Structure 1
Amino acid sequence: MHRQPLLDLLKHHQPFDEDERTMLEHSIQFVRNHPNCFERQLTIGHVTGSAWIVSPDRWQVVLLHHAKLDRWFQPGGHADGDPDLLGVALREAEEETGLRDLKVVNRAIFDVDVHTIPARVSEPEHLHYDIRFLLEATTDQPFVQTAETKEVRWVDVREIGKLTTEKSIIRMNTKKK
């Protein structure tokens, strides 16, 4: 079954708190119940892959200002049928930031989040079952600007609260890296 590797990763993930534990349980049920969970055509929701990119000294993380949602997030995006979510996270991180020298810190899941994506003209409100992986990059690599982002930058971990109050960003920043 193409979903089994993700289910195995989810089963072994240790949630940080009760909020993440609840989202982990919801994600497991969603993946079990929807063979097409990796497809964005599943209009109730779909699995996505994201990257929490840290500097080698762990004092900085990469955040991007999302153009459509007008908020700061970690890089990530749709699986578009690909069940290899670490690969999805790496691909999306490269596409959205321009960083090419990304190192996988751990192949295990770093964080799990379920969040609502607001309705737009072309799609109804739906859920993203976001599976996040911990990556590392050196801070000397240049970023690229894309149509999806207003800005991409390294952010000091002590300054993240000035850019966002998103619970999942704060949670990932709090986790030991």
Structure 2
Amino acid sequence: MAEQDNGVTTGNEPLPNGADTLPQVGLISQYVKDLSFENPNAPAIYQSQQAPEINVQFDIGAQQVAEDVHEVTLKVEIRAESAGTVAFLVELSYAGLFGLRNVPLDAVQPFLLGEGPRLLFPFARRVVADAIRDGGFPPLLLEPVDFNGLYLQQAAAREQQGDTGTVGNA
């Protein structure tokens, strides 16, 4: 129902002047922002028979770059060591430009820090696997990550810390 009995429009119907008020989100572009692969102990590392220990770290950042356009950057850092010797280091910053129009303010940050990285991850995963393979190692296929769940966990932790601080000050 586009109108209520009093003639007022409800919800997200288009306005009479043709303006679109529906929330819209789109991926404009995605790209490698920075990529580094280091193999500091070649060629000796290839003679190691021990499987490397692999440490993977993620960092997510978002910034507004234009009206209705935000850049989300997914940073992946991987360090592989075998018998205390660095096998390889990978640092990737993979970014995407997202267009957001008519999105409620309380939904922007969850999208940019949860859903945005989820959309970028498969492509970043491929770049990492290819870089490691091109470095002479078996490709590393990163396990899927629940970025939305991580965002919700961190938001709940921040809220709890805020509540704890409020209680302590009361």
Shorter-chain TM-score: which interval? under 0.3
Instruction: Normalising by structure 1, report the TM-score.
Output: 0.23
Per the normalisation by structure 2, the TM-score is 0.23
Higher share of residues assigned strand: 2
Higher relative contact order, chain-length normalized (CA < 8 Å, sep 6+): 1
